[in-house]
Amino acid sequence: MLDLNTIQSAVDTAHRDFGQAPGGANADYIPFLANIPSDLSAVAVVTAQGDILSAGDIHYRFAIESISKVCTLALALEDWGAEAVQQKIGADATGMPFNSVMALELHGGKPLSPLVNAGAIASASLIKAKNTEDRWSRILSMQRKLGSAHIKLSAQLNESEQTTNFHNRAIAWLLYSAGYLYCDPMEACDVYTRQCSTLLTTVELATMGATLATGGLNPVSKEQVLSANNTPRILADMTMEGLYDTSGDWAYTVGLPGKSGVGGGILAVVPGVMGIAAFSPPLDEVGNSVRGQKMVASIANTLGYNLYKS
């Protein structure tokens, strides 16, 4: 294990070199996200031992968006086990945009990946629950266990998404018609939209990564929140589909399981070692934070972490 000064120096260097890198634009199809100041940027590492190293706007709470898909997948795996999730949702890359209807059409309505919108709406529908509020509270509770108890819903962001999520509603009905939705479609879409509308800090996001790095033991809260059998499945899904349609490029250049969201957050996991997270709103054309990718890649590269290295 590297010493903490070395890690802090890699964090500082990443933020200094790439925290204001040019390019990209805020997501604007969700009105709330279009108005977030574009110059915000933060980066954090949480180690498997629970050490926290960070730089930049680390107290700013941003929208989790697509990264929430990892948490709901974790809960679906806990509820149903790996084989059932593979059969009911799938475990493969779509190679298409995160909200693609064509990807569904090409595969008989099966979402393939729990990390695209269709697969995440299906995951939300799979969660064992008595009713909508129970489904929502179990999903929020998983976000909190993986990250931190301070993660909470933004009513304003949720309103912004619920009143514009027509495409996702259509996806939910398509899944239902193909037999890949496991509760009422509008309930699944409502809860999925809420799960995207929580706010968290970069350190809380890195804590999620550290929890996945340790086989499900949150190193900050010290709570075992997932079964260790399930974390390799989650990391495999992240490798295949975590950075939208450039997941392959990310594996090729960085070599770590990752997940990004259109709120500007990005997470990478070094199994057994640490979670690395970054946040900055401007996105590239497929939906990944431009600066976030550079900051995370810089830390991984400086510290020498790449899963595929001998």
Binding footprint of ligand GLU on the chain (CB under 6 A):
65-66, 98-99, 117, 161, 168, 196, 261-262, 287
Q: Number of helices and strands (H, E) in the chain?
A: 14, 8
Tokens representing 27? Answer: 């997501």
Nearer to ligand GLU, 98 or 136 (CB): 98
Smallest distance, Å, CB 45 to ligand GLU? 22
Residues 6 or more apart in contact with residue 136 via CB below 8 angstroms: 191, 194, 195
Smallest distance, Å, CB 116 to ligand GLU? 8
Smallest distance, Å, CB 8 to ligand GLU? 29
Smallest distance, Å, CB 147 to ligand GLU? 16
Residues 6 or more apart in contact with residue 124 via CB below 8 angstroms: 72, 135, 139, 188, 191, 192, 195
Nearer to ligand GLU, 219 or 281 (CB): 281
Buried b (16+ CB within 10 A) or exposed e, 252-262: eebbbbbbbbb
Nearer to ligand GLU, 65 or 190 (CB): 65
Nearer to ligand GLU, 196 or 299 (CB): 196
Residue 63 sits at the vertex; the CA angle it makes with 62 and 69, to the nearest 5 degrees, is 135
Smallest distance, Å, CB 240 to ligand GLU? 15
Q: Which residue is nearest to ligand GLU (CB)?
A: 66
Q: Which of 63, 41, 37, 174 is nearest to 108 (CA)?
A: 174
Crossing angle of the two packed helices 155-162 and 185-196, in degrees rounded to 10: 140
Alpha carbons 114 and 209: distance in angstroms, whole number: 17
Smallest distance, Å, CB 67 to ligand GLU? 7
Nearer to ligand GLU, 11 or 116 (CB): 116
Please identify which residue in the block is written with the tokens 């900051």.
Answer: 295
Nearer to ligand GLU, 148 or 158 (CB): 158
Nearer to ligand GLU, 77 or 196 (CB): 196
Let me know: does 297 contact 281? Beta carbons within 8 Å: no
Let me know: does 62 contact 200? Beta carbons within 8 Å: yes
Smallest distance, Å, CB 197 to ligand GLU? 7
